[in-house]
Amino acid sequence: MSNSENKLPSIISHCKEYGFIFQSSEIYDGLSAVYDYGQWGVELKKNIKDAWWRSMVYMHENIVGIDSAIFMHPTIWKASGHVDNFSDPMIDNKDSKKRYRVDHLIEQFAEQLSITNPDEANAMLSLMENLLSKDDFTGLKNLIEKYKITCNISNTCNWTDVRQFNLMFETKLGSLAEESDTIYLRPETAQGIFVNFLNVQKTGRMKIPFGIAQIGKAFRNEIVARGFIFRMREFEQMEMQFFVRPGTQKEWYEYWKNARIKWHYELGIPPAQYRFHDHQKLAHYADAACDIEYNFPMGFKEVEGIHSRTNFDLTQHQTFSKKKQFYFDNDIDPATNKPYGNYIPYVIETSIGLDRAILMTLSEAYTEEDLSTPEKQDSRAVLKFPAKIAPIKLAILPLMKKDGLAELAKELMNDCKPHFLCYYEEKDSIGKRYRRMDALGTPFCVTIDHQTKEDNTVTIRYRDSMEQERIPMSEVKEKVLNALN
């Protein structure tokens, strides 16, 4: 199947059928844009987290990890700008009551228009960009009305005014519902790193440049949540803030662009599936920013952001908390022959959505293969994950339960399971069991048969080529471990 739009529904149903991802609260008809990871999804997720953590924290002596709380002091979100600016302009159709993100509504219309009149579509999009940066959104509504953009449910052009809609979820701390008790579910993990910058620097005796990494949940009340786990209301981020000396941020930005794209290639995904998208319109606190885009079934879209955030966040936290966020740099500045002294560090951020990384690896791995022969129609759905992220590494399949084959299989299982996740299965025909393991993305299957009893060899079957070979049972563990490394 090509990497096209209709691959997504197949991936969604595959994820449900094989225990990767379920709609949240499904028996109560589901909760929109919220998902649960099932028994194999959680393993895939853990393996991607481990790959990220290993590459960021274990492979960089100057990066350490933290795990900060989801609830934080509400002033943090005032300081970071989220209370005032973390919002999308929205518009409601008065007839259908459906709410749209204004930029999505206009972009969708422009996409259609570009088929017949690409120049006008482009002009419309640049006008939209311009109008989005204004405080007054009347121009945006006028644009929608001028082009008679309609709601795709009511087909009418009967719109409310454009309003800002903050994406943060609010809740109350304690039992008294007073305004001052309002706190937020964090919309990014980054601020938990910023407010711990000095705690980690001092207790870890960290010297600039150094980084702090974190993996954790984030929450955004996305109005238009779509694309399965691409845009969710509760999701996970893997973020790293790298603190650098002012003036060196450009070279570190380039370093992290390189390091991060290499990490993506190491997932076994070909470079042609990625592209960088440099931000033209920078956020007020950034001096450079880009996205790493992956070619999802719905086209190239952001999977990770790399941002040069200047010293904006630490400076804001210094102002709002009234606690100095200085670092004393005793390295000698060759220009003055004196230590660099006190400063608020600049920051390069790398921020990848874990769930988007999961959708990316699923999209890359999901393959439908026609295995028909002139005699028989046949096909298989297979997840061609690289071994290191595959949920199950090895399936151990005794040809039958009796004749001591199950005992031999259990022996191999006990030898391997301290090292990686194995799966034991004695039900169904061997062909059916192989297909099931293909669908779960298991790179190796081992069959124990009567010959195993005689010469201690097993049949190992490789998921992608479906080739089989006879090897000593004693070599199985090593073979899988080699593939993992």
- Return residues touching ligand GAP (CB under 6 A): 188, 190, 220, 222, 231-232, 235, 237, 239, 302-305, 349, 351-353, 355-356
**DSSP tag of 184:** E
Q: Which residues of 410-442 are buried (b: 16+ CB within 10 A; e: fewer)?
A: eebeeebeeebbbbebbeeebeebbbbbbbbbb
Smaller CB separation from ligand GAP, 86 or 147: 86
Q: Is 266 helix (H, G, I), strand (E, B) or coil?
A: coil
CA separation for the pair 63, 255 (Å, rounded): 14
Strands 394-398 and 422-424: parallel
Smaller CB separation from ligand GAP, 217 or 401: 217
The answer to whether residues 230 and 222 touch, using CB atoms and an 8 Å cutoff, is no
Q: At its nearest, how many Å lie between ligand GAP and the CB of residue 461? A: 35
Q: At its nearest, how many Å lie between ligand GAP and the CB of residue 303? A: 5
Q: At its nearest, how many Å lie between ligand GAP and the CB of residue 286? A: 10
Q: At its nearest, how many Å lie between ligand GAP and the CB of residue 355? A: 5
∠ CA(388), CA(392), CA(397), 5° rounding?
A: 135
User: By beta-carbon distance, which residue lies closest to ligand GAP?
Assistant: 353
Smaller CB separation from ligand GAP, 143 or 303: 303
Q: At its nearest, how many Å lie between ligand GAP and the CB of residue 295? A: 15
Smaller CB separation from ligand GAP, 200 or 218: 218
Smaller CB separation from ligand GAP, 302 or 415: 302
Q: At its nearest, how many Å lie between ligand GAP and the CB of residue 45? A: 13
List the strands of the sheet with 87-92, edge to edge.
Answer: 99-101, 87-92, 163-166
Smaller CB separation from ligand GAP, 139 or 227: 227
CA separation for the pair 186, 138 (Å, rounded): 31
Nearest CA to 445 out of 411, 414, 415, 471 is that of 471
Say which residues have a Cβ less than 8 Å from residue 438's Cβ, sequence separation at least 6: 380, 381, 382, 383, 463
Q: At its nearest, how many Å lie between ligand GAP and the CB of residue 225? A: 7
Smaller CB separation from ligand GAP, 287 or 425: 287
